[in-house]
Amino acid sequence: MEASQAQALPVVRAGAAIATAVCHDLPRNPGVPLDMSWLDAMRPVNRSALERRTANLTKRRSIKADNQAAWLLRALSLMDLTTLSSNDTDERVRRLCAKALRPLRDDLVEGLGIAGAHIRPAAVCVYHPFVATAAKALSGSGIHVAAVSTAFPHGLSPLPQRIAEIHASVADGADEIDVVIPRGLVYGARWSELYDEIAQFRDACGSAHLKVILGTGDLSTLRNVMLASMVAMMAGADFIKTSTGKESVNATLPVGLVMTRAIRAYEERTGFKIGFKPAGGISTAKSSLDWLVLMKEELGRRWLEPDLFRFGASSLLTDIERQLEHHLTGGYSATHRHAMA
């Protein structure tokens, strides 16, 4: 990205305010009837062309100094701060929520001139047993509570159980639900079954926003990613998401390019804007900038807001905080000063 384009986000200077309000003010995607002709009309996916496109995007961008700090703060505001470990506890989730409420050290906030700007992650994402804990810890903060659901990460329990899990998480305070699809429905091109399941998930969510995880690393081909993305949106997804973070291959820029182009095609047909969430393996500040460049170039500035873009991340915040410290001081402190417990 050229330097002039980088200035589309505010420069960090003393007293500068960065808009980070997390709100769901867009009309929700109601979905549309499944229309197989939409899938037939999707163009073939040229992997080598996608790889060239993403390589070109990341090589030609130039985001430096204050502009880079501003973009990193934007990346922070787009994060779903996540803990999805087998050893999660209520206390661990409370610590994560405390970090979400104060993601940066006071000296960094003061040095960047953002005191009072409330730069915070968009959401905290947890397993269902910890939804109530997170909802209580974040009450009144404006930070959303997201629950991974539907037999995460494989989606292979009976459908009634998966739907019941959504209802339970919403009842406990989740206002975003990240569901996972059974990948076998994609392998078998069983699009009607996939559509029906996602539509039922959408209904179970009620007012909670639905983020549909495709598990792209398991889908074999980029065309499968394209078609699954379109079916999920037709069924009423508010967001489409790359990965659970548990696959051997998670979010990659070529996959992101396929999914963003599906989002654009859906908007052209319906007028509804759909959100995008890459997840898994995004752990460095540099990689977050690459994703922001991709979103701005492919979908436009509007997709750099938390109601249309999220990072699924557990360790990204640590590196962003270190890079912001380097921006202010020219040096790095030890990683453990930033790491979350």
The answer, yes or no, to whether the previous bond of 129 is cis (omega within 30 of 0) is: no
Category of 159 on φ-ψ map: left (φ > 0), alpha (ψ -120 to 50) or beta: alpha
Q: Decide: 222 and 188 in contact? Cβ < 8 Å.
A: no
For residue 193, what is the DSSP state? H
188 vs 173: CA distance, rounded Å: 35
Q: Lay out the sheet containing 275-277: strands in order across.
A: 275-277, 239-241, 209-213, 176-180, 144-149, 123-126, 79-82, 311-313
Q: Decide: 149 and 128 in contact? Cβ < 8 Å.
A: yes
- Hey, which residues are catalytic here? 178, 241, 277
150 vs 278: CA distance, rounded Å: 19
For CA atoms 316, 318, 324, 327, give the dihedral sign: negative
